[in-house]
Amino acid sequence: MKYNIFKDLSRFFKNDIDPDYRPVDFLPPGFAVSQIADTGVSVIDDFCTREEAEYIIETARPYLTPSRIAVNNEAVLEDGRSSSTTSVYTEASKDPALLPLLFRGAMICGVPYTHVETVFVTRYSSKEYYKSHEEFFSGFQGDRLYTVLIYLNDMEPEEGGSTTFEKLRLGVTPKCGRAVSWTNRNPDRSPHPETTHEALAVAEGSEKWVIQLRFRRYELISPADEFPSPPDYQAQIPLPVDTVLPDGVRRLSPGAGE
């Protein structure tokens, strides 16, 4: 099919194309998606900035309560999950500072940002964990297409807290700004049982902070009325001489490639 730019221009002048559409404005520097072989899991480094992570932690900290799990569509305390959690983005309370994360997660998953569930922040303190579980299950609360799990603080391997997918032989160590994304159900609602995962216990004296974005096939939260300002981007600089580069990438000498 031949591309006709004049059709796009016509739509633009009829206001059918919005050049100020916001979501893509909020990709942070360094945002990079890595698909992990054929596991169906993606790791996104620099999904959020350290400043965004710190804001979320401090916003959530005063309101944490013991985490619950859904059983027969009812939230209950259960031995398989020990942590504290609170909601930070809901239909009734839409914090504009959270919107950039929703935009990014929605773009990764290919759905509108309004398809997100109520957004929760979770803190795991010393020896706390979440035993092996899936993100999908019977009933309305388990009708989830995608999960984007975002780490809000750095952790060393000896501090525990990794997210492990035993059936996929995959483990991810928390790193501030890193996200892990996977598919729970296909659009036809068929499940992905291989995404069973676990939050390993946090070591004594450490803590782990995460924020969970779970997306569905349909709208759950209405569009936001207030948006943050897009970030200011820094100009890029030439490659330093001593940078270690991956295979197939090289540093050009001044004037080369002109």
Q: Report pLDDT for 126.
A: 95
What pTM does this model have? Answer: 0.85
Range 170-173, long-range pairs (CB < 8 A, 24+ positions): 170/36, 170/39, 170/41, 172/43
Domain that residue 186 falls in: 44-215
Q: Is residue 245 part of a domain?
A: no
- The number of domains in the chain is 1
Residue 10 maps to a domain: no
Model pLDDT, residue 71: 65
Q: What is the pLDDT along the chain (258 residues), one digit of tens a residue?
A: 566 777 777 777 777 766 666 777 888 888 999 999 999 999 999 999 999 999 999 999 999 999 977 666 666 667 788 999 999 999 999 999 999 999 999 999 999 999 999 999 999 999 999 999 999 988 888 899 999 999 999 999 999 999 999 999 999 999 999 999 999 999 999 999 999 999 999 999 999 999 999 999 999 999 999 988 887 777 888 999 999 998 889 988 876 554
Cβ atoms within 10 Å, residue 105: 29
Would residue 244 count as lying in a domain?
A: no
Q: Residue 135: which CATH number? A: 2.60.120.620
User: Is 223 a domain residue?
Assistant: no
Q: Does residue 16 sit within a domain?
A: no
Give domain status of residue 258, yes or no: no
Nearest-angstrom CA–CA distance, 115 and 101: 13
Residues in CB range of 243: below 8 A, 6 or more apart? 251
Asked if residue 209 belongs to a domain, the reply is yes
Q: Are 69 and 81 in contact (CB under 8 A)?
A: yes
Within a domain: residue 220?
Answer: no
Q: E strand or H helix at 89, and its extent?
A: strand 84-89
